[in-house]
Amino acid sequence: MKITVIGTGYVGLVSGTCFADSGNDVTCVDIDADKVELMRSGTVPIYEPGLNHVFDRAIRENRLTFTTNLEEAFKDSEMIFLCLPTPPGADGQADLSFVLGVADELGDLFNKYPGYRVVVNKSTVPVGTADKVKEKISSKTDQEFDVVSNPEFLREGAAVEDFMKPERVIVGTQSQQAAQMMTRLYEPFVRSGNPIIVMDERSSELTKYAANAMLATKITFMNEIANICEKVGADVDNVRRGIGTDSRIGKRFLFAGIGYGGSCFPKDVQAIHYTAEQNGYNFQILDSVMKVNEDQKISIVEKMKEYYGDSLKGKTIGIWGLSFKPETDDIREAPSLYITDKLAKMGVKMKAYDPEAIDTFKKASTEETLAHMTFEENRDAVLDQVDALIICTEWNEFRRPNLDNFTKRMKTPVIFDGRNLYGLDRAAEAGLTYFSVGRRAVGV
């Protein structure tokens, strides 16, 4: 099939590349000319494990091309995927200006290059957006087309694997023709038997928000259990193992930490809360989820204030990990942004390292925060002469360091671990002062 993908971020580039890999001809469009130039020269502009390999193959076989020109991409296309940003507005509402702006342009192009096409919305969008996109296009053309909702469930860091082997594909459409085309397109990805679930557009749009809100709630619930563990002297890892074996609960998403971040959970929780409000419903549980997560992100700073008191000002603190989770360079809504901002405002100096996200962090951070920070090219250089270390992201290379390095290189071996990477006995044996989440403090 001839496919156009509009927007080449984490979702668009992965979708376009994987569609090309399964034999389709894909043209990716982006308004960012530098990014398009980079991709044309064979460079993947984001860090996503495994993407390079599939990307190179698709380009070599001439099935994946890039342009800034929407018209050029549109003219021969049969399916047009919208993979555009839907950032949160000030009131939490999803900003649809990118999606509706492109829909507006599509109307004129339908007139210029007639023929049935399916416009597929892969962005995460509020209920009713498929109707709005349809109205926008219809206001310009009477050509035949369908608008399908096809929310994306890939996880950054495992995006290629998730896209190639999705646990399910959701297709929101009431058009048989569009459903057939979508099924044909996705069949190669679900050969092991995972379902393609066809439903109406509104249910499909809500499915994506329901999934993310449920996962954010699960994480937050566990973080609250961790906070109680700290109060009553229980160990959240034991509690996790104890409840995770209950198949009704499941083992995943039960790890306590310093809150969820990223480009999806925070904005999607806000957006579904806003939709509920607009429809006269108070989604109460999500009020708590948002509030608890806000506090959780800076819970490490609170622990540091408690431990150091007024002497925190003027300390030099190392930071391991900046991205919102491992295996990505995405920094959006990462706890590291909130923690470094707070510490900078308190006059703390910081030395940080992340395997992939230093550049994105620098772009996302404020000048004030950056003025308090330096960056190192490797993990261990951060340790030299720091008063304490914060672990923000559970990159693999932070899991098994030589703990002696902490005592040898740091001024004082004090660790504030936001991801519970080390066993308490191991930390004690190594002579660390070790604070983690939902477990007793060691060496205090």
Ligand X SMILES: NC(=O)c1ccc[n+]([C@@H]2O[C@H](COP(=O)([O-])OP(=O)(O)OC[C@H]3O[C@@H](n4cnc5c(N)ncnc54)[C@H](O)[C@@H]3O)[C@@H](O)[C@H]2O)c1
Binding-site ranges for ligand X (CB under 6 A): 6-12, 29-32, 35, 83-86, 98, 101-102, 123-124, 152, 154, 156, 263-264
Gap between the terminal Cα atoms of the chain: 63
The least CB distance from residue 252 to ligand X, in Å, is 17
- The residue at minimum Cβ distance from ligand X is 9
Alpha carbon distance 366, 291 (integer Å): 23
Of 286, 284, 299, 289, the C-alpha closest to 417 is 299
Identify whether the C-beta of residue 196 lies closer than 8 Å to the C-beta of residue 178.
Answer: no
Alpha carbon distance 27, 60 (integer Å): 14
When the beta carbons of 148 and 389 are compared against ligand X, the nearer one is: 148
When the beta carbons of 265 and 308 are compared against ligand X, the nearer one is: 265
Alpha carbon distance 159, 53 (integer Å): 13
When the beta carbons of 137 and 430 are compared against ligand X, the nearer one is: 137
Note if 264 is an active site residue: yes
The least CB distance from residue 86 to ligand X, in Å, is 4
When the beta carbons of 71 and 429 are compared against ligand X, the nearer one is: 71
Q: What is the DSSP string of 262-285?
A: SSSHHHHHHHHHHHHHHTT---HH
The least CB distance from residue 164 to ligand X, in Å, is 15
Local structure of 65: helix, strand or coil: strand
Residue that has been written with the tokens 């209950």 in this structure = 246
Residue that has been written with the tokens 């308190």 in this structure = 346
CA–centroid distance for 206 within its chain: 18
Q: Among 18, 28, 264, 392, which one carries the catalytic annotation?
A: 264
The least CB distance from residue 282 to ligand X, in Å, is 24
240 membership: H or E segment, kind and range: helix 236-244
Alpha carbon distance 71, 66 (integer Å): 12
CA atoms within 13 A on the CB side of 317: 32
When the beta carbons of 267 and 439 are compared against ligand X, the nearer one is: 267
Q: What are phi and psi of 402, to 5 degrees?
A: -75, 110
The least CB distance from residue 298 to ligand X, in Å, is 24
The least CB distance from residue 9 to ligand X, in Å, is 2
From residue 134, how far is each of 105, 130, 145 by CA, in Å?
12, 6, 9
Alpha carbon distance 67, 70 (integer Å): 7
When the beta carbons of 25 and 48 are compared against ligand X, the nearer one is: 48
Q: Give the residue numbers annotated as catalytic, written as ranges.
A: 264
